[in-house]
């Protein structure tokens, strides 16, 4: 049995795989006013569709819908078939609250209740 596929069939399969990834992609990378769907997120970086992915470099933000997840310093890594891979130089988790500059006592009262 042979594993050879005609070029048209292989191109059709690649296009269907790319469409499925774009449809289920919730993560977005934001650069200035532009956003691009993240097709693959890994520990060391992420990947975008090579058709609409510029050669990104520098500071970007990663979002899950409208929720800000990470602020990252990135560099374009390699072309991987239909994907453009980017590596993190630094990835900082975004917080929705201001960090404290003091240690909070775990048994301290939370509020004053008068009775």
Residue ranges of domains in the chain, CATH in brackets: 26-93 (2.40.10.430)
Interval 38-52 mean pLDDT:
86
Strands (E), the chain: 27-31, 34-42, 45-49, 57-64, 67-80, 83-93
More confident residue, 115 or 41: 41
SS3 assignment, position 17? helix
pLDDT score of 52 more than 90: no
Q: What is the pLDDT of residue 4?
A: 76
pLDDT score of 39 more than 90: no
Backbone angles phi, psi at 93, to 5 degrees: -70, 135
pTM of the model: 0.67
Nearest residue to 62 via CA among 94, 96, 19:
94
Query: Tokens for 12?
Result: 């059709």
SS3 assignment, position 77? strand
Q: Cα–Cα distance between 92 and 114 in angstroms, integer?
A: 42
Interval 80-95 mean pLDDT:
88
Q: Cα–Cα distance between 20 and 41 in angstroms, integer?
A: 16
Average pLDDT, the chain: 83
Backbone angles phi, psi at 58, to 5 degrees: 110, -150
Nearest residue to 44 via CA among 85, 82, 81:
85
53 contacts 35 by C-beta, under 8 angstroms? no
């Amino acid at each position: 049995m042979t594993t050879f596929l005609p070029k048209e069939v292989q191109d059709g399969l690649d296009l269907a795989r790319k469409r499925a990834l774009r449809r289920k992609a919730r993560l977005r990378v934001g650069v200035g006013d532009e956003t691009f769907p993240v097709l693959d997120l890994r520990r060391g970086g992420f990947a975008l569709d090579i058709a609409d992915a510029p050669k990104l470099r520098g500071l970007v933000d990663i979002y899950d819908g409208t929720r800000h997840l990470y602020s990252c310093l990135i560099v374009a890594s390699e072309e991987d078939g239909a994907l453009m891979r980017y590596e993190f130089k630094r990835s900082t988790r975004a917080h929705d609250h201001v960090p404290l500059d003091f240690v909070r006592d775990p048994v301290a009262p939370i509020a004053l209740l008068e009775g």
